[in-house]
């Protein structure tokens, strides 16, 4: 893909890419910015190349997902080194900041809290389908899963999310 | 209480999307920061590739300059002589030697049949 065309596509998808980076980084804004920036570097430098086998959006989202995992791993190692801990450390639940919390609608906050109770795969597939408008097949491609696995995570995740939002279960 | 259906879930995610998009970082600022980093990455990749090609060339050159020990030329059977050949030469052994071949004695001269 030519550089000018890549720039146009990335700009067109930027807002969506930001939303996806947030989802991949457990809504940690700082980590999401780092991950999205690094993903752009990889695409511009050619370390990640578009081969035409999927849509541009699916490709961009796949790069962002892998980059977010790398950045999260790097941050965990940094924390382990500075804290001197040997065991794996969970990435701390990010505090978005008071001003961001105030600006976010109440419903969005409730949805985010409900999503966090699902498994990572369920969160991802629901985000890709409901937030980004992908088909289950496209979502499975981004997540590098078979269609069957993607559909299973989708169905179970959707059912669980609906139950959590209505307060039927508190996982 | 009725569970939210697909439409309601979609509406909730749409509100979250609007919130996120309203606070997305500037694309131009991110692109401007990404470009110099991408150039550095490309230069590093190119340098690494050139280094690999140079190393491979050196290895190939060294391999081609020194003869391979496995390609030694085997001596022909006519070059071989028995280590005990000297023991076969005794005095008068030439008397027991087979007669010379006719052509070698005549020195290649033509044999003219005798005139009747």
Q: Do A41 and B1 touch (CB under 8 A)?
A: no
Residue by residue, DSSP assigns A54-73 as S-HHHHHHHHHHHHHHHHHH
| Cα B47 from chain centroid (whole Å) | 23
pTM of the model: 0.69
Residues A106-121 have pLDDT tens digits of 889 999 999 999 999 9
Q: Do B37 and A41 touch (CB under 8 A)?
A: yes
Sorting pLDDT into bands at 50, 70 and 90, what band is A15?
very high
Rg of chain B on CA atoms, in Å: 47
**Under a CB-based contact definition with an 8 Å cutoff, are residues A99 and A110 in contact?**
no
Residues above pLDDT 90, as percent of chain B: 22
Closest Cβ opposite residue A108 in set B2, B5, B19: B19
Tally of CA atoms within 13 A in the half-sphere of A88 that contains its CB:
5
Q: Does A1 touch chain B (CB under 8 A)?
A: no
Residues B40-96 have pLDDT tens digits of 877 787 888 888 888 888 888 888 876 655 556 677 777 777 778 777 766 666 676
Q: What angle do CA A166, A171, B4 make, to 5 degrees?
A: 20
**Mean pLDDT, all residues of chain A:** 88
CA nearest to B11 within chain A: A130
CA nearest to B7 within chain A: A130
């Amino acid at each position: 893909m030519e550089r000018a065309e890549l720039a146009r596509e990335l700009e067109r998808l930027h807002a969506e890419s930001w939303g996806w980076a947030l989802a991949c980084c457990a809504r940690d804004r700082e980590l999401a910015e780092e991950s999205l920036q690094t993903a752009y570097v990889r695409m511009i430098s050619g370390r990640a190349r578009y081969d035409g086998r999927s849509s541009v959006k699916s490709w961009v989202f796949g790069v962002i997902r892998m980059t977010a995992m790398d950045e999260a791993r790097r941050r965990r190692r940094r924390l382990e080194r500075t804290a001197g801990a040997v065991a794996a450390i969970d990435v701390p639940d990010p505090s978005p900041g008071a001003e961001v919390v105030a600006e976010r609608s109440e419903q969005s906050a409730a949805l985010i809290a409900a999503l966090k109770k699902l498994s990572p795969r369920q969160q991802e597939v629901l985000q890709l389908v409901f937030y980004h408008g992908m088909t289950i097949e496209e979502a499975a491609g981004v997540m590098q899963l078979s269609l069957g696995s993607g559909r299973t995570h989708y169905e179970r995740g959707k059912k669980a999310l609906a139950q959590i939002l209505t307060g039927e279960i508190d996982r | 209480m009725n569970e939210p259906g697909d439409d309601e879930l979609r509406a909730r995610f749409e509100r979250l999307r609007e919130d996120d998009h309203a606070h997305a970082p500037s694309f131009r600022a991110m692109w401007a920061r990404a470009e110099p980093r991408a150039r550095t990455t490309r230069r590093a990749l190119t340098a690494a590739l050139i280094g690999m090609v140079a190393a491979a060339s050196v290895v190939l050159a060294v391999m081609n300059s020194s003869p391979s020990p496995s390609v030694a030329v085997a001596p022909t059977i006519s070059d071989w002589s028995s280590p005990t050949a000297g023991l076969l030469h005794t005095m008068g052994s030439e008397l027991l030697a087979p007669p010379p071949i006719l052509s070698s004695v005549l020195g290649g001269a033509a044999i003219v049949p005798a005139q009747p």
